[in-house]
Chains A and B, each alone.
Chain A
Amino acid sequence: MDWVSLLIALCSGTALGFVLGLVPGLGGKTSIILTTPLALLWDGPEAGVFLIALHSVIHTSSSIPAIAFGVPVTSADLATVQDGFPLARAGRASEALGASLSASALGGVIGALAFLALIPFSRLLVTQFGPPEFLAFACIGVSLVATISESGLRRGLILCALGMLISMIGIHPTTSEPRFTFGLYDLWQGVPVQVIVAGMFVVPEMLTIMNRPARPVELASASYHLSGVVQGMLAALRFKLLILRSSFYGILIGILPGVGSSVACWWSYAYAARNVKSDVPYGEGALPGVIAPEAANNAKEGGALLPTLLLGIPGSSVMAIILVALLTVGVPIGPQMATRPELAYVLGATIVAANFLAVPLFFAIIPFITRISLAQAQYVAIIAIAVALGSAIGKTPVLTTYFLLAVAALAGIAFEQARWSRAPLLLGFVLGSLVERSYYQTEQIWGWTVFARPLFVLIVAAGILGLLRTRKFQQPGREATLDPSWMLFGLLAVFISVSAYAVLSRPGGLPLVLVISLGGAALTLAVLLNRSCSVAIAWPRSTLGPILLLAGSFLLGLPMGIAVYFLSTLIARGTTAAKAAAISVLTFILVALVSVWIGSFPSREALGLIAWKLLDY
């Protein structure tokens, strides 16, 4: 091996990865795709060193926009935003960035060391975990709502259910039939995470910031910020056990093929929120809330290398591309790696070296970033909104994306106004597809015999135990949530519409959709009935309207429910002509509905012009 070439590949990969990590919307996969042709200029292991170095530091630098502007570059940065951005808004951006740097570097090194240590046990580790265990992990992940929801468990679960249902838009994982796509082919691929992040999180958060009174520019000298970074780095070192624990989660999730890195980040975040004390409540700028996901995020790289290099099973799409690149330049993969074990050690050492090399780069860029983040809130908000919308539209530049962004932003603003924490929605969205896929896989291969798998039982038991030991989540100073009836009725209508859709159209996976949607509806109803009188907003003037809306939604789907609601309003308050027209339309809808139910229409297509087409039945 040519050590000079390896060193050049390491340094160039680290520098390029650091820069690409700063660009929102690119993410790990796109960066690897863009740089693979460059890597292939080397015709040997240098290509692997370049790509792995590049990928190792992307998550280190991607925490910078996540913390400073609240814009996550990759979906794995979402957990970091929860506390990182509030810290930056509180004028502690340098400290948060320093803590993130320490945690990322240490997590990366721990992950790489674990990779090197686990090489002899790679096969044993990888084959012990299958879809049942993924399902157990995902369910534990969903239970984290209890920890991360700042607006109560019930509201957290409602938004988690909504997030899971949004994640089900698109192709069914087993039948490949389109669901909830409303006839739009652009939705067959599902809703991009960038749209959810931009619409539900960045836009409402930034609009709130823009509406606050302007803060004077708080620019201090660069040295002040650098000292803040060092302070943050040292502060992170106080949480050694948290870093170790989070790195363990990262390594474990990295080893398992098919489980996204976001799971590791949220898992670590929830562990911190449950077990690690912080002066500031989680979600409002707790330092451990930044440290945990960052350590897990970088540690997973070492874990992901194990199945990729030693078994030829790439644990993620990024690793799949790296695998192809390595094969192209003749690096032996899988069992053949045993013929050149030094290559595995070189690639493992690359992760360690890249994480160390990222430290000076981080220091070089922080003064500029903190200056911007401390500038007037309005500027930051405009940058953040532009970047988030740009990355969402850039990812899927079609008209549907604009529409989805508008819907997501409106919903996000509604939740923000009601002071409902939106983190559970994101958790549900991220974990939804994993829960669904693993559920069907487990059901087909194992069925009830899954409980004969010791590891599955062990994980479930550990999850339940962890949940029981969850400390009560304290939210001192947090404003009480509002439960506006229009929002609750809207949520109820959505859940009931989805249930109706599931029953009527019987898409694949009916039970799971029904459980989630009916569960969401029941919880919404519970919140509706138990609203605190002090913050309650009056019911709509007519109680008949909401009842018709709900009934219509249940029977015909949301659009028809809304139509029935407005028609009933017209009947109640409109002129005679309007009343007559409304009654005719309503009668037609009801007759058509009854006809479908009793089967007098030759097929559902007969009604396709009105309801079924609207909901892609």
Chain B
Amino acid sequence: MVKKIYFALESCASACLIAVFALTLLAVEYSSEAWAQEPAPLTQKAIRIFTTGTPGGASDQFARVFAKALEQDQPGASVTVQNLRSKGNVVVIKDVFESGSREINLTVISAGVIFDQLSKGDKLPFDLSKMPAVGSFTSSNFLLGVGRGTEWDFKKPRAAQPQLKIAVHYRSASDYFFAVLLNAITNLNILPAEGFETDVMKTMFLAGDLNAIMLSGTDPESGLVESGDMKPVLLIGAAEYPKLFSNAARLTDVVDPRADQELVKTVQQVSDFGRLLLAAPKTSPEALVALRAAFLRISADPVYRSELEASGLVSSPRPGEQVDVFLKQLLGEGTSLRMKITAAMECGRNIADGGAAQCFN
């Protein structure tokens, strides 16, 4: 009897031991799974944001304000911003494009680089359509303004329009592309002169050497409107603009009804995207998902928005997926959109040179 009791106790003890062991194993397994899930992908690696914008300019400011917000959003994450202006944007984007996955490398670029790739193609050592987008900031939403005394009526046919002489940065910059594309989709007649810096453009505009100007609708430009030197007449993007420019027409109101609507939408989108936050192609999918989610959270944060406002930046963020689709459509080899844009640009340039009357059938 005693033996039976002893055996039963021994069996119970063994069973208990086995149960405890199994439970321990389960607990270890469970906790290791939990540990594996716990560390967020953005805290495991250093995050570096590269920019080549003017220090204190929109790209630089966006990178810094976003980096600060990202560190707060992801406690434990290390986010650094490096402005490598002296290396030039081609080299910096190339470095990010070719970088491995040891760190999470991001770069803030202006929409002008998209046009740079459109015009230079294979000469560039990177392909923006292969760089996943985290999102897009705004603040370079373009507008067209005219000088004092320039008569203005969108309804007039092109032949009756005054030629708008504007200065642009260079032949692959955003302002050049907007100028020729506006020729292609509206009845405007814009002649872009290339190779100007913004301050020289403004001086020439004030001196009356130019009768129109294309600028990004940010605070520093408000002085020209307040002094009455510039009348904003056309807001190219669909995004938010400072209130000062709100009386100007929107692009959709003035495009020729026969113009390709896809082109119109593209012009608006590029203006709206403003500054893009792109990641290296080798960024892990988990990190990319986390970055995109963080971008949307941060963009909706009122503190972040007020900080941008304090820096004079307008923010109408766009999610990374939307930017990705757009870049692939626009820059992908042989896509219909790319062909349309290329043809429209050529036609718009012809109009500027006095060689074509219109760009639609």
Contacts and interface: CB of A to CB of B under 8 A. Distances in A.
Interface of A: 33, 36, 123, 126-131, 171-178, 185-186, 188-189, 192, 257-258, 307, 311-315, 317, 320-321, 323-325, 327-328, 333-336, 395-396, 398, 437, 440-441, 444-445
Given A185-B91, A185-B94, A437-B195, A445 B54 contact: no
A262 B165 CA distance: 31
A111 to B, nearest CB: 19
Q: Which 9 A-B pairs have the closest CB atoms?
A: A334-B223, A127-B207, A174-B195, A324-B56, A189-B88, A174-B194, A257-B199, A335-B227, A444-B193
Interface string B156-196: 00000000010100111100000000000000000001111
Contacts, number: 134
A258 B197 contact: yes
A185 to B, nearest CB: 5
B60 to A, nearest CB: 9
Interface string B112-141: 000010011001010000000000000000
Contact of B195 (A128, A396, A441): A441
B320 to A, nearest CB: 26
Contact of B194 (A126, A127, A323, A444): A444
B200 A440 contact: no
B331 to A, nearest CB: 17
Interface residues on B, range: 35 or more
B188 to A, nearest CB: 19
Interface string B250-270: 000000000000000000000
Contact of B87 (A189, A258, A307, A444): A189
Contact of A175 (B91, B170, B310): B170
B171 A321 contact: no
Which of A36, A128, A177, A398 has the most chain B CB within a 10 Å cutoff?
A177
Contact of B56 (A173, A175, A321): A321
A236 to B, nearest CB: 33
Contacts of A317: 54
B204 interface: yes
Contact of B226 (A33, A174, A336, A398): A336
Nearest to A132: B209
A125 B3 CA distance: 114
Contact of B202 (A36, A171, A177, A313): A313
Contacts of A172: 170
A127 B203 contact: yes
A441 B200 CA distance: 10
A323 B57 CA distance: 11
Contacts of B120: 176-177
Contacts of B312: 327-328
Nearest to B310: A328
Given A126-B203, A130-B204, A444-B193, A312 B90 contact: no
A175 B220 contact: no
A323 B226 contact: no
B148 to A, nearest CB: 13
Given A126-B206, A335-B227, A186 B200 contact: no
A320 B54 contact: yes
Given A176-B173, A312-B224, A395-B86, 14 more contacts: A127-B208, A130-B207, A176-B171, A185-B88, A192-B86, A320-B56, A320-B57, A321-B56, A327-B312, A334-B224, A335-B226, A336-B223, A398-B91, A445-B165
Contact of B55 (A33, A129, A314, A335): A33
A327 B222 CA distance: 12
B96 to A, nearest CB: 13
Contacts of A324: 56-57, 220
Nearest to A436: B195
Contacts of A313: 199, 202-203, 206
Interface in B275-313: 310-312
B153 interface: no
B206 A127 contact: yes
18 contacts: A36-B55, A130-B200, A174-B171, A175-B171, A175-B172, A185-B91, A189-B87, A257-B197, A257-B199, A313-B203, A315-B199, A321-B56, A323-B220, A328-B312, A336-B223, A437-B195, A441-B195, A445-B165
A68 B211 CA distance: 51
Contacts of A327: 219-220, 312
A173 B194 CA distance: 8
A192 B219 CA distance: 32
B193 A445 contact: yes
Contacts of A36: 55-56
Given A36-B55, A123-B206, A130-B204, A174 B170 contact: yes
B121 to A, nearest CB: 12
Given A33-B55, A445-B165, A185 B207 contact: no
Interface string B70-113: 00000000000000001110110010000000000000000000
Nearest to A328: B311
Contacts of B311: 328
Contacts of B199: 257-258, 307, 313-315, 320
Nearest to A332: B223
Nearest to B91: A185
A335 B193 contact: no
